[in-house]
Chain A
């Protein structure tokens, strides 16, 4: 039972680290306001865009890893479930007052109410009451987003999960494409706004706390996606370390043995599929908050490939790998390589060749190819961060025991 207490200790440490990370995010975002130093980490800094997007994507990547990495089901429907989540969230939270404007092509929305307005009647719509109804409303909408995605996953899973590997992949990809078409259908315009965006629902910036004068006193716009993503990923980690998580891994390792040991294949696959889709749905809702709109044409198969790429780069079957890979991926593609897109003339009049719009993505995809070809296991393989640290600790201990001095720079 020693192992169990050790495990418990590890999870407490992990929890503490996450709490520290969340705190750090709050501090980072408010640094410029608190210190009064302009220009350092301004709220408009690329860093926060990257952090927000990465938080959202890491949730989606982890949810995909649960399915593709831990259960061994090769599904490519992630974008479809994100779309469901995004639309559910958007439809539920667009304020009633804004509906006519958003849905002007269709003469207003078929759904007149918004969760937040309804809660606003209960708690009041300004001051602390407004905050409560906003938080609760967004929370309810996020959960609904997950539930709708999960419901569809359940329905889709009934026929599709009986298919094998690549057939499953292409069928789920197909479902995502079908969903995308349905949500763009003119006839559903009063609900989905057709091919147009749904806008004006609460986004991350809605969570920045303002004082009576309308000045922001505490910025939480990066903290919120971090909090939601961390909570969801935490739940997924709990699931993976439970009896069900082990059953998923058993199915991945050897279906026949799993079945022979009494594990109902279909039920467990269905479970993994539905849970993964639930979190993809929540992730989709967060993505809608991040881009401040919901539009079907964004959720293409390219998006699914991107997430799959992240999962593989991080290591199939590693949650921490997925998270780390997401941040690196997003930061590299959105931020670190930006300079490649700008035509640059050096001091001596030398124009750096190749640099112009689009070069960033070329370099980025070359980097990805290099990683894919030469680091096949991804960043983490199937290890988790605590495993790695523990082994590092053990290794350095034994190294220290063998050598008196192990100094290296």
Chain B
């Protein structure tokens, strides 16, 4: 029972961290129809920033700074690598995203010298507390709460504010929105800024649990987050969160299965298997039918 609780807890937490990354994917996809392959690497860079900035600055400065730097990175990537390709075929933009991902990974290799780095032990997040008899990091407990707060804030932003309305309009019809005088570029920038900020927060939670950072560390969580977004019906924020939670829990359960079964190697594969099963029966994801009110 205790084991089950702790598995469930860390599953929800992992899922929450995926959700924070997945929102970035799903929002960008909703607006640009672009699989932003570089998003996982932005997440990795946020992790590296956490290490480098925390080494010389106190946490209350370094952590907000991580968010600022990551947001800046996301903004610059969009402006430099995606904005010039606005009228190009979709494939070109996607290739550009792959190129950016490649660049970020290679720069990270260069800067770190290819050595795995260790994420600092953030105060509070790294501290443990006993839940149902198992020591659990605060990060694990805080993640779901934080995700709920952020998602609520985000939905309010999208549904209640002017920029949110613009985002919804652009995701419905890019061309018409442009003709209607919506400043497409600023809408897209805001989308990237939100996505990057969430990825930065996600990185703090994620790397507190899995402390090793190497240049390709973002690839798998990034991919899984994208799968989560597709799973829930890409473009839908609640879909992405639910998809991420399902994937996080499933992965933790598989990793927690008795080691004699030798199935932990399938923890990643299971995610994809689940995705394919869902897609076969619902080709646009779980909440894909509500594709009309996506952002």
* Contact (Cβ within 8 A) A368 B102: yes
Binds A, one of B44-52, B60-68, B260-268: B260-268
> Judging by beta carbons under 8 Å apart, are B114 and A301 in contact?
no
Is B106 in contact with A361, judged by CB distance below 8 angstroms? Answer: yes
B92 touches A177 (CB 8 A): no
Q: Given A170-B230, A316-B91, A365-B103, does the pair A376, B85 have CB atoms closer than 8 Å?
A: yes
Contacts of B84 in A (CB 8 A): 373
Q: Which residues of B contact A12 (CB under 8 A)?
A: none
The tally of CB-CB contacts under 8 A between chains A and B is 126
A186 B272 Cβ-Cβ under 8 A: no
**Interface membership of B219, Cβ < 8 A:** yes
Q: Flag B75-103 by CB within 8 Å of A: 1 or 0 each.
A: 00000010011001101100110111111
Smallest Cβ distance from B270 to chain A, in angstroms? 8
Taking CB atoms, residues of chain A closer than 8 Å to B92 are 312, 372, 376
Q: Which of B35, B89, B96, B276 has the most CB of A within 10 A?
A: B276
Stretch at the interface among A44-52, A98-106, A158-166: A158-166
B12 part of interface (Cβ distance < 8 Å): no
CB-CB < 8 A to B88: which residues of A?
A: 376
Contacts A160-B276, A166-B35, A169-B35: A177 and B102 contacting too (C-beta < 8 A)?
no
Give the chain B neighbours of A213 by CB distance below 8 A. Answer: none
Given the contacts A185-B266, A376-B85, A365 and B95 also touching, CB distance less than 8 Å: no
A181 interface residue (CB < 8 Å to B): yes
Report yes or no: B265 in contact with A357, Cβ–Cβ below 8 A.
Answer: no
Task: Chain A residues near B283: list those with CB within 8 A.
Answer: 162-164, 167
> Is the C-beta of B5 less than 8 angstroms from some C-beta in chain A?
no
Contacts of A68 in B (CB 8 A): 91
Q: Does A359 contact B (CB under 8 A)?
A: yes
Chain B at the A interface: SS class: helix
Minimum Cβ distance to chain A for residue B8 (Å): 24
B139 at the interface (CB under 8 A from A): no
Given A163-B279, A175-B272, A178-B272, CB of A365 within 8 Å of CB of B266 = no
> Residue B14 at the A interface, CB < 8 A?
no
Chain A positions within 8 Å of B227 at CB level: 170, 174
Which residues from B are CB-within-8-Å of A74? 91
For the complex, what is the distance from the CA of A152 to the CA of B98, rounded to whole Å? 27
Find B96's partner among A159, A164, A300, A373 (CB 8 Å cutoff): A373
Closest chain B residue to A176 by CB distance?
A: B272
B176 in contact (CB, < 8 A): no
Chain A proximity of B43: nearest CB distance (Å):
16
How far is B91's CA from A166's CA once the two chains are assembled, in angstroms?
A: 10
Query: Which listed residue (A159, A167, A358, A373) contacts B113, Cβ 8 A?
Result: A358
B157 interface residue, CB < 8 Å from A?
A: no
Partner pick for A357 among B37, B113, B234, B284, CB 8 A cutoff: B113
Q: Is the CB of B272 within 8 A of A373?
A: no
Chain B residues, Cβ within 8 Å of A301: 219, 223
Question: Hey, which chain A residues are within 8 Å of B114, CB to CB?
Answer: 357-358
B211 on interface, CB distance cutoff 8 Å: no
Decide if B275 touches A181 in the complex (CB within 8 Å): no
Contact present for B99 and A368 (CB under 8 Å):
yes
Whether A308 sits at the interface, judged by CB under 8 Å, is yes
> Using a CB-CB cutoff of 8 Å, which residues 355-379 of chain A contact chain B?
356-359, 361-362, 364-366, 368-369, 372-373, 376
Chain B residues whose CB sits within 8 angstroms of the CB of A373 once the complex forms: 81, 84-85, 96
Contact yes or no, B265 A181, CB < 8 A: yes
Q: Closest CB of chain B to A286's CB: distance in Å?
A: 24
Known: A167-B283, A178-B269, A305-B101. A372 touches B106 (CB 8 A): no
Report the separation of the CA atoms of residues A191 and B275 in the bound assembly, to the nearest whole angstrom. Answer: 28
Q: B residues within 8 A CB of A159?
A: 276, 279-280
Is there an interface contact between A312 and B91, defined as CB atoms closer than 8 Å? yes
**Interface residue? A302 (CB, 8 A):** yes
- Residues from 217 to 275 in B contacting A, C-beta threshold 8 Å: 219, 223, 226-227, 230, 234, 262, 265-266, 268-269, 271-273, 275
| Pairs of residues from A and B, 6 with the lowest C-beta to C-beta distance, nearest first | A174-B272, A181-B269, A358-B110, A365-B103, A361-B106, A178-B269
What are 25 sample pairs from A and B whose C-beta atoms fall under 8 A apart? A68-B91, A164-B283, A166-B35, A166-B230, A167-B283, A170-B226, A170-B227, A170-B275, A174-B272, A174-B273, A175-B272, A175-B276, A177-B272, A305-B101, A308-B95, A357-B113, A358-B113, A362-B107, A365-B99, A365-B106, A368-B103, A369-B99, A369-B103, A372-B92, A372-B99
Q: Can you name 9 extra interface pairs (CB under 8 A) apart from A185-B265, A185-B266, A301-B223?
A: A74-B91, A174-B276, A177-B268, A180-B269, A312-B95, A357-B113, A368-B99, A369-B103, A376-B89
